Structure 1
Amino acid sequence: MKKQLLAVLFGSALVLGACGGGGDNGADDATENGGEDQTEEQTGDNGDTGDGGGETAGGVNASEAKKYFKQSCAGCHGADLSGNNGPNLQTIGSQYSKDQILNIIKNGKGAMPGNMASGEEAETIAAWLATKK
C-alpha cells in the first residue's frame, strides 16, 4: 500500500512539474526542443508562411502570443500545440471562442489548473488560440 501511495505521489509531482513553469528566460529553448522553435518561427503554425511573428488575420500579435504560450502552456500542450500531457490545441479555435478559451486559462478545466497566465498574457494567448481552426 505504501509503495502504491508513493508511486501516485511521485507521478502527480511529475505531471504537475511538467505543467508548471514560466520562470524560464527562454535562453535554451531552441536546444531544449531540438530546434523546433526555429522551424516554427520560419514556417508559422498550421502551414502558414512568413516569419511566424507580427499580426495574424485575427489582429493578434502572434510572436507575443507564442512567447507567452511557451512560458505558461507549452510544458503540457507542446511547443507545436500537439499536446504532451495536456490536450492537442492545434484546432482549439474551432471548438471554443476567445472568451471560452480565456475562461479556461483563468479558471482551469479538467486536470488543468487555473491562473496559468493572467492579464494581458492570458488575453493574448486566448486570442491567438482562438485563431487555430
Structure 2
Amino acid sequence: MKKNPLIPYAIIAVVGVLAVIIISFVGLGQRDAIHQAEEGGTEQSAEEGEVSTDPEAIFTNNCAQCHGADLSGGMGPDLTTIGSKYSADEIVDIIQQGIGSMPAQQQVPAEEADLLAEWLSEKQ
C-alpha cells in the first residue's frame, strides 16, 4: 500500500486553520475586555456638564497636552514644582485668566479648577 504524501500537509493545514480561528476568538475577547477597562477604568472622567472629582483626570483632560502627562513640561512649562512658586489661589487665577502665552482655560469649571489648583499646589 502506497502512502499519500498530501495527507500530512492536509493535516497541518486543518490544524493551522483551527489555530487561527481559536486565536481570533481569544483576541476578540481580549479586545472587548480592554475596551471595557478603558471605559470603566480607574480614571474618573466627567460626562458632559458634570464636574469631575479627580484632579489627575482633570489635568489629563485639560492640561497634559501642553504640560506633559507627568507634569514635566512640553509646549507649556514644567509643573513638577509649581506649588513652590504659586499658591492654590494663584493657580486657580492662572487657570481661569491665563498667564503669558497660556490662554484662560474656560472649559474648566470653577469647581474643577479649585480641585486642580489644590492638587498642583502640593507639587513642591
TM-score (norm 1): 0.52
Corresponding residue number in structure 2 for 1:118: 109
Matching residue within 122, 129, 132 for 2:120: 129
Residue 119 of structure 1 deviates from its aligned partner by 1.6
Q: 5 Å matches for 1:8-19?
A: none
Which structure is higher in helix share? 2
The answer to whether residue 53 in structure 2 is matched with residue 83 in structure 1 is no
The answer to whether residue 75 in structure 2 is matched with residue 72 in structure 1 is no
Corresponding residue number in structure 2 for 1:109: 99
Q: Which has the larger radius of gyration?
A: 2
User: Identical aligned pairs, as a percentage?
Assistant: 49
Structure 1: gaps of 5 or more residues: 1-26, 29-40, 42-62
Matching residue within 78, 82, 91 for 1:92: 82
CA–CA distance in 1 between the matches of 2:86 and 2:94? 10
DSSP 3-state at the match of 1:109: coil
Q: Deviations over 1:24-54 (max 9, x none)?
A: xxx49xxxxxxxxxxxx9xxxxxxxxxxxxx
Task: Say what the alpha-carbon RMSD is for the aligned residues.
Answer: 2.1
TM-score (norm 2): 0.56
